Each structure stands twice: as structure tokens, then as C-alpha cells.
């Protein structure tokens, strides 16, 4: 590496990683940073028989810092191997951080597009919103995720609409016919979030072709957009195409938003053409738990649409993660297969996870187990007129009562199992089944075949699990995941 900034960052990063000692909350099968801080999933793709996942990585502090792209690979999306750091902020176009982006694979080449973030003090009246921030769209190629060609600037602030602020970022690229498309998230000067859609004949020259926002203002910024189409699997849906625009909006207040997370992630089903004229159906949350943000999807070679979220929450002051004292913070969700059934979008853990199930216990109505460090729990045939309670580690309760599904921590103290987390809930018409996937310090709950999920970190003293679900069938497996 000839660039001194990159080579010094590389040496410092490796020195930090040598100090890593993740402690008792180390995850068994969730992608984690080796040390320091992780946020968004980036550049998710499959190349040959290898899945690649990059992540927003700040190795020098568990509380965040300079952003680079860490890199992991996997052959089953359950066991991840850390490969080192792929992209450093080492050029004038990205010196303030290699921010989020995506990978588009063609002919064995990963085309990575990301936001080169630059904060400039030499701009008059700089506030990093309307002045002083460069949001550079950078293109770089790789055939293995480890070595890269030169970073090429393909768009800069002047290429974005004049009524946007300098908050434009997180390119996600796909191809349709002979044309390439890209969505980016943006904040308009009137503090409205929107998605910009660009098209290109060659991945180099990009032109704005659409701007998408909701009918009424929905937050001030939409981060990490993604667009994909699903063939409806409903028996009588005849494979109808469901178009999904995923965004992470910031700045939602009032009504139900006040009891939810500081920022949200969800999707709009889109009617019309994403590149021309379209309308958005009402926003639906991807996940109603405490820790879920900035998801990204990719299509596996076998056709599955896979979604991975960041199991964390930016700018959250009321709760924390007890791993910070072990020098690391945050992880990814389990990769989830995304499907559509009768217009509803469903998430379900990748089927590969089921290969790691052992020690099945099955019972009707109730189950109690100890030492449930890594587990997969399925409750089905639920009579939704009956109450249901799942208690994890004696502290986290999942309850269903009077059409309300709730995830709640019994002790709300910052030092407790929930580390300050209190309650998240949503109202549902019915409850048919619940699946809970537990790792050492995380719980992911899939409700009604994955119509809604609740993801959360937790920090148990003692691991245990207890289910009360009158007349339902309860199936419990250990998950045994070894590297």
C-alpha cells in the first residue's frame, strides 16, 4: 500500500484487532466487528460460492469514529469469517469516511458504489448540512473483495438536485434490461426525505431520472434506500410483481412514532415505475424491536432475496450495549429471506440456519429450558384468543394480549439485561405463529410467518427460556454453530 494514510490506518487497525477480547456476550452466529464499532451492511453480494458482506467499521472505538469498510465472507450466511478491511478513507473524495454503499456483480466483477463523505472547513458558513459536506458517489471494482481498482468519482454535489441539502448518500445499484439504475437517499432543503433515482448506460455516466417521496412529508432524511421486486408466492396471486422501496427515515414524530425508535426502517410497496411515475402505499416497518436500522438486500444466485439489517440504533441515548466495556458494539441481524404473499412482505431466517438445529424438544402449551444460549424456538398453531408469554433470561418478555404483541424488559436499569431498553409493541389482527432466534446477546422475533419482526440486543446474567401458550405447539432447538 503506497498511500501513507491507508498504510497507517491499516497498521493501527491491525494493532487494535490484536487487542480484541469480545467477552461473554460474543455472538456465535451473527456477523460482528472484530473490535470497535459496526453499523450498516454494505456491498452485500454473492460471487461464485462465496457470500460477501461488508460493514461500516470504526475499529478504534466501540463508540464509533472514522468509517471504513470491514469485510466478511461466508459459504452459508451463518458462519462468517472476517477478511480484513477492504476500503479506507484515503483519497480526497472520501477522506471523511467511506460511507455506505452497495455491490452490483456482473461477469465476476463486483462494482462497488459508495458515498465518499468529506467535511470541509473551508466552505463559507459550513454546517455540514447546507455547506461544507461533499457527498461523492464513488465507483470501485474488485474480483475478490480484498483488492480493488482505483476509486473513480462518478457523481458529486453538483450532480444532485439544487433543492437538496448536501445530505445525499448510500447508492444502491441494479440492472434492468440494458440500463443500470441507482437509488440514493436525500434530505431536501425544506427538510423532506426523498429517494433520488439515477440511470446509466455503462455504470460511469449517471443521470437523474426520478425523485420519489411520499404524498405527505415523512421525516427529514431517508437513508440507505433499496429497491427490489418480488414475485408474489400466494397461490392465487399468479406471481404478480410486488415492488418494494426500502428506506430508513429520520425525523418521524407524533402519534405512534413517539413510542418507537429514534429512527425507523421500513418499506413502501410502490405502484407504477420506480424510474418514471410512481406512487407509494403506506409505510410498513421492517422491524418493531429496539435494534434494527439501515437494512440492505441482495439477490443470491439461487434467486432468493436476502435482507440483512444493522442490529443497532444510531443516536440512541436511553439504552446502551454492555459490550462497549469489552471494546466492541453492534452486529448484523441474521440474514433473512424476503418473500411476498398476497402483497405482504415477509422475512424469515435463511433456511441454512436450520442445518444447525439440534436437540429438539416439543410440547403443547408450555416449555421451560435452562442454559438457552443459542436457540431456535417455534410456536405455531396458536389460538390467538389466548394470551401468550415467552420469558427469556427471566428478563425479556414477549407477550400477546388483546391484539397487542409486546417485547418488554422487566428491569429498565442501564446495567440490566436490557441495558435501559423498556418496551416496544405493535397491534396485530391475529397471532398465528412466533419464531424466536436467540444468540448470546441478541434475540430476533418473527411474527406471523415474518410479517413483522422484533430485533433486540440483550445481556443476560443467566440464560433460560419459558413459554406459556395454551394449546399451541412449541418446538425448541439448540443452535450449535461452530466455526
DSSP secondary structure of 278-297: EEEPPPEESB-SSS-EEEEE
Q: Nearest distance from residue 201's CB to ligand FRU, in Å?
A: 26
* Annotation says 40 is catalytic: yes
Residues 148-177 that bind ligand FRU (CB under 6 A): 169-170
Task: Determine contact, residues 1/19, Cβ cutoff 8 Å.
Answer: no
- Residue 90 as a binder of ligand FRU (CB under 6 A): the answer is no
Q: Nearest distance from residue 380's CB to ligand FRU, in Å?
A: 35
C-alpha closest to that of 404 among 447, 468, 368, 345: 447
Who's near 300: CB < 8 A, 6+ residues apart? 46, 51, 306
CA angle 230/233/236 to nearest 5° reads: 125
Say how many residues touch ligand FRU, by CB under 6 A: 14
C-alpha closest to that of 477 among 435, 431, 432: 435
Task: Read off φ and ψ for residue 107, nearest 5 degrees.
Answer: 50, 45
Q: Nearest distance from residue 346's CB to ligand FRU, in Å?
A: 24
Residue with smaller CB distance to ligand FRU, 13 or 435: 13
HEC string for 204-260: CCCEEEEEECCCCCCCCEEEEEEEEEEECCCCCCCCCEEEEEEEEEECCCCHHHHHC
Who's near 254: CB < 8 A, 6+ residues apart? none
Binding test (CB under 6 A) with ligand FRU, winner from 294, 331, 419, 452: 294
Strand 36-47, strand 328-329: pairing: parallel
Who's near 186: CB < 8 A, 6+ residues apart? 160, 161, 164, 165, 167, 168, 169, 193, 194, 195, 196, 221, 222
Q: Nearest distance from residue 99's CB to ligand FRU, in Å?
A: 3
Task: Compose the 381-420 pattern: x for residues touching ligand FRU by CB under 6 A, - for all others.
Answer: ----------------------------------------
Neighbours of 199 (CB within 10 A): 16
Residue with smaller CB distance to ligand FRU, 112 or 398: 112
Binding test (CB under 6 A) with ligand FRU, winner from 23, 314, 387, 394: 314
Task: Compose the 29-68 pattern: x for residues touching ligand FRU by CB under 6 A, - for all others.
Answer: ----------xx---------------x----------x-
Binding test (CB under 6 A) with ligand FRU, winner from 224, 340, 345, 398: 224
Q: Nearest distance from residue 385's CB to ligand FRU, in Å?
A: 40
Indicate which residue of 8, 40, 191, 301 is catalytic.
40
Residues 194-223 that bind ligand FRU (CB under 6 A): 223
Residue with smaller CB distance to ligand FRU, 114 or 228: 114
Distances (CA, A) of 460 to 225, 329, 395: 34, 16, 8
Q: Nearest distance from residue 62's CB to ligand FRU, in Å?
A: 15
Task: Compose the 94-123 pattern: x for residues touching ligand FRU by CB under 6 A, - for all others.
Answer: -----xx--------------x--------
| Residues pairing with 267 in the sheet | 246, 284
Task: Compose the 264-293 pattern: x for residues touching ligand FRU by CB under 6 A, - for all others.
Answer: -----------------------------x
> What are the cell numbers at 154?
462518478
Q: Using CB under 6 A as the criterion, which residues of the chain lie in contact with ligand FRU when the complex forms?
A: 39-40, 56, 67, 99-100, 115, 169-170, 223-224, 293-294, 314
- What are the catalytic residues? 40
Amino acid at each position: 500500500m503506497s498511500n501513507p494514510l491507508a498504510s497507517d490506518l491499516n497498521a493501527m487497525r491491525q494493532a487494535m484487532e490484536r487487542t480484541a477480547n469480545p467477552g461473554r456476550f460474543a455472538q456465535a452466529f451473527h456477523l460482528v466487528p472484530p473490535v470497535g464499532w459496526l453499523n450498516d451492511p454494505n456491498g452485500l453480494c454473492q460471487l461464485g460460492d462465496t457470500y460477501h458482506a461488508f460493514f461500516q467499521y470504526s475499529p478504534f472505538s466501540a463508540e464509533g469514529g472514522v468509517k471504513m469498510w470491514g469485510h466478511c465472507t461466508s459459504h452459508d450466511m451463518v458462519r462468517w469469517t472476517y477478511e480484513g478491511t477492504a476500503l479506507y478513507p484515503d483519497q480526497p473524495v472520501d477522506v471523511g469516511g467511506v460511507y455506505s454503499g452497495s455491490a452490483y456483480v456482473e461477469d465476476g466483477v463486483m462494482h462497488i458504489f459508495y458515498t465518499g463523505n468529506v467535511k470541509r472547513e473551508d466552505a463559507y458558513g459550513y454546517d455540514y448540512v447546507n455547506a461544507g459536506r461533499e457527498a461523492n458517489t464513488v465507483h470501485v471494482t474488485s474480483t475478490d473483495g480484498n483488492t480493488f481498482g482505483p476509486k473513480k468519482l462518478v457523481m458529486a454535489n453538483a450532480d444532485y438536485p439544487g433543492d437538496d441539502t448536501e445530505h445525499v448518500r448510500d447508492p444502491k445499484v441494479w440492472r434492468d434490461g440494458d440500463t443500470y439504475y441507482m437509488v440514493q437517499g436525500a434530505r431536501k432543503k425544506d427538510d423532506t426525505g426523498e429517494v433520488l433515482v439515477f440511470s446509466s448506460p455503462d455504470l460511469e455516466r449517471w443521470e437523474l431520472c426520478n425523485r420519489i417521496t411520499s404524498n405527505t412529508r415523512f421525516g427529514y432524511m431517508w437513508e440507505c434506500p433499496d429497491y427490489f421486486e418480488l414475485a408474489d408466492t400466494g397461490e392465487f396471486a399468479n406471481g404478480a410483481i410486488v415492488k418494494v422501496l426500502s428506506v430508513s427515515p429520520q425525523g418521524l414524530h407524533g402519534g405512534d412514532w413517539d413510542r418507537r425508535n429514534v429512527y425507523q426502517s421500513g418499506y413502501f410497496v410502490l405502484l407504477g415505475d420506480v424510474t418514471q411515475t410512481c406512487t407509494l402505499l403506506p409505510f410498513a416497518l421492517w422491524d418493531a424491536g429496539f435494534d434494527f436500522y439501515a437494512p440492505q438486500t441482495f439477490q443470491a444466485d439461487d434467486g432468493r432475496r436476502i435482507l440483512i439489517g444493522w442490529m443497532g440504533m444510531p443516536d440512541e441515548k436511553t439504552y446502551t450495549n454492555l459490550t462497549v466495556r469489552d471494546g466492541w458494539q453492534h452486529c448484523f441481524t441474521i440474514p433473512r429471506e424476503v418473500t411476498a404473499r398476497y402483497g405482504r412482505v415477509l422475512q424469515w431466517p435463511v433456511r441454512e440456519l436450520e442445518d444447525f438445529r439440534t436437540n429438539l424438544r416439543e410440547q403443547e402449551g408450555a416449555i421451560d429450558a435452562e442454559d438457552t444460549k443459542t436457540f431456535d424456538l417455534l410456536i405455531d398453531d396458536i389460538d390467538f384468543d389466548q394470551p401468550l408469554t415467552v420469558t427469556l433470561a427471566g428478563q425479556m418478555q414477549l407477550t400477546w394480549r388483546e391484539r397487542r404483541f409486546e417485547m418488554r424488559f422487566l428491569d429498565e436499569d442501564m446495567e440490566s439485561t436490557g441495558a435501559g431498553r423498556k418496551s416496544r409493541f405493535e397491534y396485530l389482527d391475529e397471532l398465528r405463529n412466533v419464531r424466536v432466534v436467540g444468540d448470546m446477546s441478541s434475540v430476533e422475533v418473527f411474527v406471523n410467518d415474518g410479517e413483522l419482526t422484533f430485533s433486540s440486543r440483550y445481556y443476560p446474567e443467566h440464560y433460560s427460556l419459558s413459554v406459556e401458550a395454551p394449546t399451541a405447539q412449541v418446538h425448541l432447538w439448540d443452535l450449535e454453530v461452530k466455526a
